[in-house]
Amino acid sequence: MNVVNNHSDSYNLRPLTTSDFDNVITLWRSTDGMSQLESPEELQRFLDRNPDCSILAEEDGVLLGAILCGHDGRRGYMYHAAVSVYARGRGVGRAMVEHCVARLKQLQIQRLTLFTLNDNCPAKEFWKHLGFRQRNDISLFALDLKEFD
Ligand SMILES: CC(C)(COP(=O)(O)OP(=O)(O)OC[C@H]1O[C@@H](n2cnc3c(N)ncnc32)[C@H](O)[C@@H]1OP(=O)(O)O)[C@@H](O)C(=O)NCCC(=O)NCCS
């Protein structure tokens, strides 16, 4: 196992890999606040483009949390930050975010952006607590390409 971080707590962090897809998708599906989950094929494409950026936390082989993280060469992004309800409040979320920040800095990415649903107030407080600022100066626009011919 490629452990990238050890803690005083008994969980480990390591990069998310293909063999973790079933477990992380199950975690994300069971977590409030997750939207637009990828298929395994989309996840694989994301990981191939962003090696060693996405992270998971586990303890005795049990998945505690995961974050999908990557960049487009200019900006970094995090998606689906989730910690199992049974493992919350132990610093797992912070540790995973710190890994993503460190990895993106290593890759000379200068800003990390994430999206959260407007009504996910606990998540917004979490991000603010970790030093993220809420952007009120931009509006997000999207085009669903599947429906655009
Ligand atoms: C948000 C989430 C990832 C936090 O994970 P966690 O492992 O419980 O968080 P941590 O224990 O690492 O907390 C880190 C710090 O944030 C603080 N914190 C955690 N949740 C918080 C909240 N809702 N509001 C304010 N502060 C919060 C903790 O007190 C801790 O502070 P400290 O490090 O200064 O002592 C987890 O609650 C979760 O999975 N939520 C549901 C999914 C979700 O909404 N994800 C975000 C989608 S964008």
92 Cβ inside 6 Å of ligand 1: yes
Residue 123, Cβ density class (10 Å: 0-12 exposed, 13-18 middle, ≥19 buried): middle
Domain 5-147 carries which CATH code? Answer: 3.40.630.30
pLDDT mean across residues, the chain: 93
Q: Give residue 35's pLDDT band: very low, low, confident or very high (50, 70, 90).
A: confident
Instruction: Return the best residue to mutate from 126, 132, 140 for the ligand 1 pocket (most ligand atoms within 8 A of CB).
Output: 126
89 Cβ inside 6 Å of ligand 1: yes
Q: What pLDDT, on the 0 to 100 scale, is given for residue 56? A: 98
How many A from CA of 123 to the centre of ligand 1?
A: 7
How many A from CA of 92 to the centre of ligand 1?
A: 8
Judge whether 69 and 100 are in contact, CB under 8 Å.
Answer: yes
Question: Tens digit of pLDDT for each residue in 41-80?
Answer: 999 999 999 999 999 999 999 999 999 999 999 999 999 9
Q: What pLDDT, on the 0 to 100 scale, is given for residue 5? A: 56
Domain edges within the chain: 5-147
What is the number of other CB atoms lying within 10 angstroms of the CB of residue 119? 8
Query: From CA 135, how far away is CA 102, in angstroms rounded?
Result: 22
